[in-house]
């Protein structure tokens, strides 16, 4: 079942200078908020702007606020389980905007992607914290000389290979996430 958790408004960037010496113009952010329509083009969340890890969720809405001459861009995000897992471990806590000029020959800027990172270039971004309640617990793999896999604590563990005990004397528990197999060669 897909995750439908949507955040409240998170500040993803602001106008003015960036840490790496670039300048973000307020009009770019105003354009992005005004034009953003997921039905037209959905900005997907990436890890550090890299596409080969797969996406980590999507942007569902944008808005701007202006204070003391600084335009701030806010987003409502729909993180997937991978991003929720990273966030639980206090990783990828900030955002980095991917703004495309003259999007689809509109003459306006559009948010075409959003990266989660630990080193944002834009000043003033909100630190991302997602609630952990009501989330599906991770699947665990017990490894030992006789190992067992279980999904819920309420289920009985079934030993593999005809063993009478599921874990043996030296079990290790490695959390896994749905769709990502554990590394069985990992040693405790």
Active site residue 68: no
- Do the beta carbons of residue 17 and residue 123 sit within 8 Å? yes
Tokens representing 6 are 């949507």
Alpha-carbon span 80 to 106, nearest angstrom? 30
Scanning the chain, the segments in alpha helix (DSSP H) are: 26-35, 81-88
What distance in Å separates the CA atoms of residue 182 and residue 64, rounded to the nearest whole number? 42
Taking the C-alpha atoms of residue 31 and residue 37, their distance in angstroms, rounded to an integer, is: 12
Active site residue 48: no
Catalytic residue among 49, 102, 106, 129: 49
- Among the listed residues 20, 68, 89, 161, the single catalytic one is 20
| 102 among known catalytic residues | no
Distances (CA, A) of 179 to 51, 75, 111, 170, 182: 18, 27, 28, 26, 10
Considering the candidates 15, 85, 96, 122, report the single residue annotated as catalytic: 96
User: Is there a contact between 114 and 59 (Cβ–Cβ < 8 Å)?
Assistant: yes
The residues annotated as belonging to the active site are: 20, 49, 96
């Amino acid at each position: 079942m897909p995750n439908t958790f949507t955040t409240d408004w998170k500040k993803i960037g602001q106008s003015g200078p960036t840490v790496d010496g670039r300048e973000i113009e307020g009009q770019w952010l105003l354009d992005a908020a005004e034009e953003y329509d997921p039905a037209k083009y959905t900005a997907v969340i990436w890890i550090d702007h890299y596409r080969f890890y797969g996406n980590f969720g999507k942007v569902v809405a944008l808005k701007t606020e202006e204070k003391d001459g600084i335009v701030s861009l806010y987003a409502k995000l729909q993180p997937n389980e991978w991003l929720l897992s990273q966030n639980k471990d206090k990783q990828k806590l900030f955002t980095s905007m991917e703004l495309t000029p003259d999007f689809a020959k509109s003459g306006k800027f559009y948010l075409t992607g959003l990266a989660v990172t630990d080193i944002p270039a834009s000043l003033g971004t909100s630190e991302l914290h997602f609630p952990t309640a009501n989330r599906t617990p991770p699947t665990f793999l017990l490894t030992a000389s006789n190992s067992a896999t279980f999904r819920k604590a309420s289920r009985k563990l079934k030993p593999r290979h005809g063993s009478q005990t599921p874990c043996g004397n030296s079990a290790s528990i490695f959390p896994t996430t749905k769709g990502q197999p554990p590394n069985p060669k990992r040693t405790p």
